[in-house]
Amino acid sequence: MPVQSQRDIDEVKLYEKINDFPWYVVEFVDHKANNLSPSTLLGYLFDYEIFFGWLISEAGCPCEKIKDIPLYFLENLDKKIADSFPKFLVIQHKADSKVSRKKKNSEATISRKMAALKSLFSYLQNEAEDGNQKPLLTRNVITKIKYTPTKIDIQTKADIIQHKILDSKESVESFRRFVASDYSKLPGLNKRHLSWYEDNRERDTAIISLILGSGLRVNEVATLTLGDIDWSKRRVLVKRKSKKKQSVPFSIRSKLDLEEYMNVRGTRYKPSDSETAFFLTKGGKAMTKNAMQKMVLRYSTAYGKRLSVHKLRHTFATELYKKTKDTRLVQDVLGHAEPKTTAVYTHIGNDEQNRAIDGMDGIE
């Protein structure tokens, strides 16, 4: 039996978790499954779990279980009560924990959770119908919630990103080299950590090198199979967020690191003949995106600049734009649906404003 891929794992988790939700959420997930990945839908369910849990704990819903919350309760939810939900998210209580914990959410996280909620309510009001061909919801209270996050202009956003990425070609290669060899030179590494590193050095270097040389999302890397890579053309076939398949180029440096990993993939990880997942863990199992995220964080923390996988993607995009000055090319390679998403990279490292102000003083 082949080992499950990342997509298979997400799909299993999705259809396990959906059992905890009302029938109308199940219908929503089934409807969206044609256009959204299991990973995205699973993220929606985690957001809905917070909202439905809040309905029970804070909004007066008489149900004990999320699954039992009736549709009419959403229909009749008082606007003043609904307006308090974003405030609840600012410091979100971990109601599912035996120990009382709180989690502070950023404005971006709150906006994302509200967007997921709006998607559900929009479906119930505008797409789903009952047996009489009437909308499941006629009143959509979520559209009336007032939540306005602080607006950040594109230059400010670019400045924030710049401080969180590898900001030069030299620093990109320095980090790659650290993962490929210099990590083993760290003082204080015990035998267990050194053994773990030596066992996975080629794989980890290949993953980081691929993201830095292609800008792939972590989920796209985790779902790669052996057949997705065209070695001669240096391209990988990935499934983007919208389920659109796209052939994405990767760098020569990435190819060399991927080939080095392939030289040890079979002997080191011993996958079954039917296993097609490209990146593996001990025992021949497909490496998950969570494991990849933790791996990148482990190396980057040791390197001295805490980086997420997404920051590596930002790094690639920034370097690609600096090299080409072509936003359309960067948009296509990254798989952005909207040009405005890509526009931020045109402002990273832009010191035009500073030079203009300095010029006022006669300083060039």
Catalytic residues: 217, 241, 310, 313, 336, 345
Closest CA to 260 of 192, 182, 208, 327: 208
The one-letter code for the residue type at 198 is E
- Whether 314 and 323 have beta carbons less than 8 Å apart is answered as no
Distances (CA, A) of 154 to 330, 341, 352: 17, 10, 14
Closest CA to 257 of 240, 234, 241: 234
Question: Can you state the percent helix, strand and coil of the chain, rounding each to 5?
Answer: 60, 5, 35
Round to whole Å and give the CA distance between 49 and 47: 5
Contacts of residue 125, defined as CB under 8 A and 6 or more positions apart, other chains included, come to 135, 136, 137, 138, 140
Terminal CA-to-CA distance of the chain, rounded, Å? Answer: 67
Sheet holding 229-230, edge to edge: 229-230, 235-239, 245-249
What is the DSSP secondary-structure string of 285-326? EEPPHHHHHHHHHHHHHHHTS---HHHHHHHHHHHHHHHH--
Round to whole Å and give the CA distance between 119 and 115: 6
Round to whole Å and give the CA distance between 205 and 180: 5
